Amino acid sequence: MAFAVGDIVGRKSYGMDVLFKIVSINEKAGKAMLKGLDVRLLADAELSDLKHAQPSEVQEYRSQSKKAEKECIKKIYRRRTMERERLRGVSGMSPDQFFEIPGKILHLDGDADYLEECLKVYHSLGLTAQGIFVPERNQPDEIWSLLNKHRPDILVLTGHDAYLKHKKNFQDLGSYRNSQFFVDATIKARQYEPGKDDLVIFAGACQSHYEALLDVGANFASSPQRVLIHALDPVFIMEKVAFTPIVETVNIYDVIKHTITGLDGVGGLETRGKFRLGLPKSPY
């Protein structure tokens, strides 16, 4: 069966472990460009290595992904309930008497579909997030004006990336599809706001150059083991930052443990939270 843009496929050489959508086809070269259904990977593949996924396979794949997402969200709400009970014990007042201001998020994403999903989850988690579709290569040029316009507490720079399979040097930025753009955008963001506790940055996507991103100023980045990361992992990390009190530092192990990918896919630095409590709550 011939392949077409939009088809859902897997790579036979990888045992169909990840499902992709075809975004472009080069018939002359016999290759297709693929993007992960739920992981932030952009990869090219030989057409001869591709196989159409059966509807039942796609349904099962999406079901497993949604199950992992729901489990992360459930853990977040469980954690927030415990935090509110702790507040009651410390203050002797009901949490309903306080008002909450979590950190404000600006999310730049090189994939419009992933961005839409991320914004849905931000909203469901009670976060104020401005999401803008910006291709990875354009993020360094646009980041300064966007930061100046939106003045966020938290910045996410993500999209697609990949370690290029014909490369052999994991420390060379030229071995990655888009890591250089994430590095350059992070540098520009740190020129705008140098303080790591004033502007908290997540940068990277699948298999990104983790060490380079931290070196230029990201608080959190992907990917320590150059593995694939889930499209929502940046959301789950920054939710924790947004809801950690400003007088506390984010528990790095706790926040990464509750992502979908875990410590192989994302990591970061000790960082102060962005959550503020107010008292009393206005009746108006």
Interatomic CA distance for residues 109 and 42, integer angstroms: 13
Interatomic CA distance for residues 261 and 68, integer angstroms: 10
Name the amino acid, one letter, at 167: K
Sorted by where each begins, the domain ranges of the chain are: 8-53, 91-278
Q: Which of 76, 78, 70, 74 is nearest to 230 (CA)?
A: 70
For tokens 């540098």, name the residue.
Answer: 187
pLDDT of residue 269: 95
pLDDT of residue 87: 67
Torsion from C-alpha of 164, 165, 171, 176, nearest 10 degrees: 10
For tokens 């014909």, name the residue.
Answer: 166
Neighbours of 16 (CB within 10 A): 15
pLDDT of residue 253: 87
Name the amino acid, one letter, at 275: F
Name the amino acid, one letter, at 280: P
Beta bridge partners of 131: 107
Is the distance from CB of 232 to CB of 260 less than 8 angstroms? Answer: yes
223 upstream amide cis, omega within 30 of 0:
yes
Q: What is the CATH number of domain 91-278?
A: 3.40.50.280
Interatomic CA distance for residues 158 and 156, integer angstroms: 6
DSSP character string of 76-91: HHHHHHHHHHHHHHHH
Radius of gyration of the chain (CA): 20
What are the structure tokens assigned to 66, written together?
Answer: 């949604």
Interatomic CA distance for residues 210 and 159, integer angstroms: 15
> CB neighbours of 247 closer than 8 A, spacing ≥ 6?
273
Neighbours of 231 (CB within 10 A): 27
pLDDT of residue 89: 63
Interatomic CA distance for residues 29 and 283, integer angstroms: 66
CA geometry: angle 51, 57, 60, nearest 5 deg: 150
Residue pLDDT tens, the chain, 284 long: 689 999 999 999 999 999 999 999 999 899 999 999 999 888 889 999 999 999 999 999 999 988 988 998 998 888 888 877 776 666 666 767 778 899 999 999 999 999 999 999 999 999 999 999 999 999 999 999 999 999 999 999 999 999 998 888 999 999 999 999 999 999 999 999 999 999 999 999 999 999 999 999 999 999 999 999 999 999 999 999 999 999 999 988 888 887 899 999 999 999 999 998 888 888 88
pLDDT of residue 92: 67
Q: What is the distance of C-alpha 71 from the center of its chain?
A: 17
Q: What is the 3-state secondary structure (H, E, C) of 165-179?
A: CCCCCCCCHHHECCH
Interatomic CA distance for residues 122 and 28, integer angstroms: 42
